[in-house]
Amino acid sequence: MLDVSDVVGQLGWYHLAVGAITVLRAFPTSWTLLIAPFIVPDVDHWCAKPAWLATNWTDEQWKEIAIPMTGVAVGANSSVASPPGAPRFERCRHRAVFENDTVDPETLVACDAWTYNETVPGSSAVPEWDLVCSHDWQRSLMQSVVFAGSLVGALALGRLSDMYGRRFIFFVSNFGFILFASVSAASPSATCYNSLRFITAICVAGIQTTAASLFTEIVEPRHRNLLNVGFSLGFTLPTLLLPGVAYLVGSWKYLQLTAGLSGLILIPFIFILQESPRWLVSTHREKQARAAILKILRINGRQVPDMETTMRELVEKSKADAQLSSTSPVEILRHRRLLRNAILLFIVWFCDNLLLFATTLSSVDLGGSRFINFALSAAGEIPGGLVSLPLVRYCRRRRSQAALLLLAGLAAILISLLPLENLWLRLGLNMTSRFLLVISGAIKNTFSQGIHVHTIAPTIVLSGAGLCGATAACFLPETLGKPLPDTFDEANNLGLRPKRK
């Protein structure tokens, strides 16, 4: 049957515009997901001198006498003064000091205020909101609320895009992102910031899901793997720029505002982007679908076919697709192999994403400058995105997926075993892990289409995730060169060898 992609034809100027959207949407996406290490970095701190000691002791006397030395400095970023492996001052307690200027070295008292070794005043929200010691958990919460908001947004806005259209939800999500991400730069507290960040993440998920739908519903099936390039390399570009922008801007508030205004880059597409003709036909908006197809054909410079016959065939195709998709998702429980594959895919996705985000966010904790580390770590994704294209097209996916996850897990183990002084070797392993995981992500996406089923973490956990994901991938069916299944029975039998007669 005739499909929308058959009518629109091969790649043209309109496809290029939609492809540009899949790349540029990564600016609001990646900057929202990865901005936390620059908004709330690990700033070195120690207990502040009590007000009543202001005239008696100098700041240096207070630090040398009242603050004990403990542990080792991680050398995580440019805000920490001590070199890797060197002792540092206790961050959350001080020796008991009395009004007669005597000190009890055996008694440690919790801080009620802190002094921060902030290289650039205002560059971090940590001193402004005292996100240290007993409040340090709020720094991690800033990352957790983003993932929670992304989950809510993917479910809610994905459903709304089915009801009201991909284009409409795409631009509503983008305008919402610009508003809430920009306003969060003026947050008076961490609680307010996290609340706005949760809403921002919902909007980002809306941008993500609708951009993917607008691309896949307009291109031919053989070109849909280009979505992996748009999403992987598109994500890498703003990730590479983020540390440079953070360094140049200086203030965390201006950095957050810059991230919010990045959504403006998508506004000009409001004059080009058409609603998905496939969605319009499926929702019985044939007149609007006809107009959208004609506009796309004019942009691509293609010849206009007999639209009466074309629309009739597209409606028939849509009805046939609707019958296939009308089966309840509960039907998966009746197909044991399909259920097994769905569970294995969930494990692979979970482990792959856990490794990728942990590797990305932990790059600032390797030692040295967090700006340089973050940028170099992100650079490892560029060759990974390019290598993934031929690998997905020509190599067996099950073996490739398992090998890549296993190697990424081994890289995590090696990073944990190397001493902090081996900065460049640790950074090289981090870049290698990013390279492997980007390729793994491309294979993982193709796996999902083929089967057709709709510090961040200790390094021991990450290496375990790599091993777990690699093991799960070994039991998935091979999809290279296989047609996409249309029914539960076809999906359930995917990978089975035909019985000999």
Dist. CA 488–CA 81, nearest whole Å:
59
Average pLDDT over residues 382-394: 69
Amino acid at 117: N
Per residue in 420-448, pLDDT tens? 667 778 778 777 777 777 666 655 554 44
One domain for residues 439 and 465: yes
Q: Give me the percent of the chain exceeding a pLDDT of 70.
A: 71
- Beta partners for residue 104, in sequence order: 96
Averaged pLDDT score across all residues of the chain:
76
Average pLDDT over residues 482-497: 53
Q: CATH number, domain at 486?
A: 1.20.1250
One domain for residues 1 and 60: no
| Residue 457: other Cβ atoms inside 10 A | 17
One domain for residues 50 and 168: no
Average pLDDT over residues 288-313: 82
pLDDT at 138 over 80: yes
Residues whose CB falls within 8 Å of the CB of residue 413, separated by 6 or more in sequence, listed in order = 459, 460, 463
> What pLDDT, on the 0 to 100 scale, is given for residue 467?
56
One domain for residues 178 and 227: yes
One domain for residues 341 and 302: no
Domain C-terminal end among 257, 286, 321: 321
- DSSP three-state, residue 104: strand
Closest by CA position to 273, among listed 291, 288, 292, 289: 292
One domain for residues 35 and 56: no
Average pLDDT over residues 358-383: 76
> What pLDDT, on the 0 to 100 scale, is given for residue 245?
92
> What pLDDT, on the 0 to 100 scale, is given for residue 442?
56
**φ/ψ (deg, to 5) at 97:** -120, 135
Structural domain includes residue 344: yes
459/380: higher pLDDT = 380
Average pLDDT over residues 376-389: 73
Q: In this structure, what is the dihedral angle of CA atoms 445, 448, 454, 456, given to the nearest 10 degrees?
A: -50
Structural domain includes residue 123: no
One domain for residues 51 and 183: no
Average pLDDT over residues 287-313: 82
Q: How many helices (H) and strands (E) does the chain have?
A: 21, 6
What Rg, from alpha-carbon coordinates, does the chain have? 26
> What pLDDT, on the 0 to 100 scale, is given for residue 261?
96
> What pLDDT, on the 0 to 100 scale, is given for residue 448?
45
Q: Give me the percent of the chain exceeding a pLDDT of 90.
A: 16
Structural domain includes residue 3: yes
pTM: 0.76
- DSSP three-state, residue 180: helix
Dist. CA 120–CA 480, nearest whole Å:
52
Q: CATH number, domain at 31?
A: 1.20.1250.20
- Beta partners for residue 456, in sequence order: none
Structural domain includes residue 122: no
> What pLDDT, on the 0 to 100 scale, is given for residue 462?
44
Structural domain includes residue 501: no
Per residue in 219-278, pLDDT tens? 776 666 666 666 667 788 888 899 899 989 888 999 999 999 999 999 999 999 989 888
Structural domain includes residue 225: yes
- Asked if 361 contacts 143 with a C-beta cutoff of 8 angstroms, the reply is yes
One domain for residues 80 and 150: no
Length of the chain: 501
> What pLDDT, on the 0 to 100 scale, is given for residue 331?
62
Per residue in 455-482, pLDDT tens? 333 444 444 555 565 565 565 555 555 5
Structural domain includes residue 298: yes
pLDDT band at residue 335 using 50, 70 and 90 as cut-offs: low
**C-alpha dihedral sign at 426, 442, 217, 220:** positive
Q: Which residues constitute the domain of residue 67? A: 45-117
> What pLDDT, on the 0 to 100 scale, is given for residue 449?
44
pLDDT band at residue 28 using 50, 70 and 90 as cut-offs: very high
Structure tokens belonging to residue 109: 């008292």
Closest by CA position to 177, among listed 348, 28, 314, 3: 28
One domain for residues 267 and 405: no
One domain for residues 401 and 265: no
Structural domain includes residue 500: no
Domain C-terminal end among 91, 117, 143: 117
Per residue, the 3-state secondary structure of 324-363, as one string, reads: HHCCCHHHHHHCHHHHHHHHHHHHHHHHHHHHHHHHHHHH
- Asked if 324 contacts 317 with a C-beta cutoff of 8 angstroms, the reply is no
**φ/ψ (deg, to 5) at 26:** -70, -20
Dist. CA 39–CA 235, nearest whole Å:
19
Q: In the chain, helix, strand, coil percent, each to 5?
A: 70, 5, 25
Average pLDDT over residues 111-116: 85
pLDDT-wise least confident of 45-54, 131-140, 175-184: 45-54
One domain for residues 218 and 252: yes
Domain C-terminal end among 321, 340, 355: 321
One domain for residues 67 and 6: no
Structure tokens belonging to residue 339: 């259920």
pLDDT band at residue 490 using 50, 70 and 90 as cut-offs: low
Structural domains counted in the chain:
3
260/327: higher pLDDT = 260
pLDDT-wise least confident of 24-28, 128-132, 225-229: 225-229
Structure tokens belonging to residue 357: 């985000």
